[in-house]
């Protein structure tokens, strides 16, 4: 096990109807907040009204930052920063999915930035030194943003979707109310499950495997629990416990726990997907689903079939004794079939992406690889991966 530091100070308030306690948990922290939300669903579902009622109840006023879109934009972050500065905002509240939470974090950090620009933090030119308190009320089980210090924003002018992280943007409080996800449609429910599972798979595969059964076994357990909960949610969107397990599972999938001590690692599938959704604006989870089987096949065939096989042994009960290459292949196939079974794409073709697009995607990915100093993923490697992801059958 490698050395690590783990410090996750987010307070989680979990349960049915907890959305109505939002104001109570902000009370004492801020009297005036920036309220961030998306284009329509938080309004239509009534969630936004529950939050504002609760803010009213506790005498907390708000300014709205609305119409935040999926694959959220830097221009919207800048709009939020200006609103926050002009109105002497004391905290930022996110009501929505990962896009809204990530926008709220970027605004919270950007508002108090002393020198330079918030985008410099994404470009790796400067570090986030502080941030306004962030409070999240997630309406989608997927990103894990509600319990971590990461955010992903798209610079639309340069087609660049980048991630940044800082301990300062950990939410102070996250209100996890599974009922808020009852209205999530089937496709986004499934994409959310895949996003969460991908958050577990990336450190599992891309660490250096330094003998970490504790982390590995938590990973297996969470993958199984999230996969099962996703299926239950699709079968019955109003199954509270299914929604609750998907929500808590997705939160734990990227709260840092399963990343501890597994060695330096990054998120190549996320990197390539960010390029895809920066260019084609596809839903993040759909992009991940389209990449995962092909990427896993590439990864197994690059000398790592025993690691892929290990996953299959532990989550699918594949016989340990078998040949590693065969077991790896069987693992990838089962995973690809599972994606189909929950209505997700499992190749790029399903997203109407063609071979002609691969060069642009690879080139875009290289910008990210450059910022993070990732050398393993050259243009040729990404082109090879994309070729394997193009068609799965």
Residues found near its own copies in the complex (CB under 8 A)? 1-16, 18, 178, 210-214, 216-218, 220-222, 224-226, 228-229, 240-241, 244-245, 248-249, 252, 257, 260-261
Beta carbons within 10 angstroms of residue 32's beta carbon: 15
Tokens standing for residue 391: 């068609």
Beta carbons within 10 angstroms of residue 63's beta carbon: 15
Q: Which is nearer to its own copies, 25 or 274 (CB)?
A: 25
CB 244 → its own copies: shortest distance, Å? Answer: 4
CB 85 → its own copies: shortest distance, Å? Answer: 30
Tokens standing for residue 334: 């089962």
Q: Which is nearer to its own copies, 274 or 307 (CB)?
A: 307
Strands 150-155 and 160-165 come out as antiparallel
CB 256 → its own copies: shortest distance, Å? Answer: 10
Give the span between the Cα atoms of 7 and 251, in whole angstroms.
Answer: 15
- Distances, alpha carbon 77 to alpha carbons 84, 92, 271, in Å: 10, 12, 21
Closest CA to 134 of 177, 168, 97: 168
Q: Which is nearer to its own copies, 1 or 359 (CB)?
A: 1
Q: Which is nearer to its own copies, 1 or 186 (CB)?
A: 1
Closest CA to 244 of 342, 172, 175, 141: 141
Q: Which is nearer to its own copies, 55 or 229 (CB)?
A: 229
Give the span between the Cα atoms of 293 and 315, in whole angstroms.
Answer: 16
Give the span between the Cα atoms of 105 and 188, in whole angstroms.
Answer: 22
CB 220 → its own copies: shortest distance, Å? Answer: 6
CB 233 → its own copies: shortest distance, Å? Answer: 13
CB 219 → its own copies: shortest distance, Å? Answer: 8
DSSP 146-205: GGSSEEEEEETTTTEEEEEE-GGGS-SEEEE-GGGGTT--HHHHHHHHHHHHHHHHHHHH
CB 240 → its own copies: shortest distance, Å? Answer: 8
CB 283 → its own copies: shortest distance, Å? Answer: 24
What separation, in Å, do the N-terminal and C-terminal C-alpha atoms of the chain show?
Answer: 38
Burial of 6 (0-12, 13-18, 19+ CB in 10 A): exposed
Q: Which is nearer to its own copies, 243 or 358 (CB)?
A: 243
Beta carbons within 10 angstroms of residue 376's beta carbon: 10
Tokens standing for residue 205: 């595969």
Q: Which is nearer to its own copies, 5 or 157 (CB)?
A: 5
Q: Which is nearer to its own copies, 8 or 352 (CB)?
A: 8
């Amino acid at each position: 096990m490698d050395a690590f530091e783990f410090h996750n100070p987010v307070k989680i308030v979990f349960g049915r109807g907890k959305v109505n306690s939002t104001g109570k948990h902000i009370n004492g922290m801020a009297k005036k907040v920036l309220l961030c939300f998306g284009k329509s669903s938080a309004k239509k579902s009534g969630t936004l009204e529950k939050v504002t009622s609760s803010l009213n109840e506790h005498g907390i006023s708000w300014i709205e930052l609305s119409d935040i879109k999926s694959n959220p934009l830097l221009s919207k972050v800048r709009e939020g920063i200006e609103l926050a500065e002009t109105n002497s905002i004391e905290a930022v509240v996110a009501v929505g999915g990962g896009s809204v939470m990530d926008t709220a974090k970027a605004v919270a950090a950007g508002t108090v930035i002393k020198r330079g620009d918030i985008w410099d933090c994404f470009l790796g030119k400067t570090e986030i030194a502080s941030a306004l308190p962030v409070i999240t009320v997630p309406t989608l089980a997927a990103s894990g943003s509600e319990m971590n210090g990461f955010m992903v924003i798209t610079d639309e002018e340069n087609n660049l979707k980048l991630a940044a992280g800082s301990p300062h943007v950990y939410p102070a409080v996250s209100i996890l109310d599974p009922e808020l996800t009852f209205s999530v449609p089937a496709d986004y429910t499934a994409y959310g499950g895949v996003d969460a599972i991908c958050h577990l798979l990336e450190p599992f595969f891309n660490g250096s495997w330094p003998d970490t059964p504790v982390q590995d076994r938590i990973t297996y357990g969470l993958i199984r629990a999230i996969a099962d909960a996703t299926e239950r949610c699709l079968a019955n969107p109003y199954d509270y416990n299914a929604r609750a397990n998907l929500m808590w599972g997705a939160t734990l999938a990227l709260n840092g726990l399963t990343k501890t001590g597994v060695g330096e690692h990054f998120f190549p599938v996320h990197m390539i997907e960010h390029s895809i959704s920066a260019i084609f604006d596809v839903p993040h989870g759909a992009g991940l689903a389209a990449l995962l089987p092909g990427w896993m096949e590439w990864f197994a065939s690059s000398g790592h079939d025993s690691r892929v096989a290990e996953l299959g042994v532990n989550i699918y009960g594949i016989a340990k004794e078998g040949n590693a290459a065969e077991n790896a292949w069987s693992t990838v196939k089962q995973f690809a079939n599972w994606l189909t079974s929950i209505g997700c794409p499992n190749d790029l073709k399903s997203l109407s992406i063609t071979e002609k697009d691969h060069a642009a995607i690879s080139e875009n990915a290289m910008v990210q690889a450059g910022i993070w100093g990732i050398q393993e993923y050259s243009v040729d490697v990404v082109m090879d991966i994309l070729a394997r992801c193009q068609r799965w059958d």
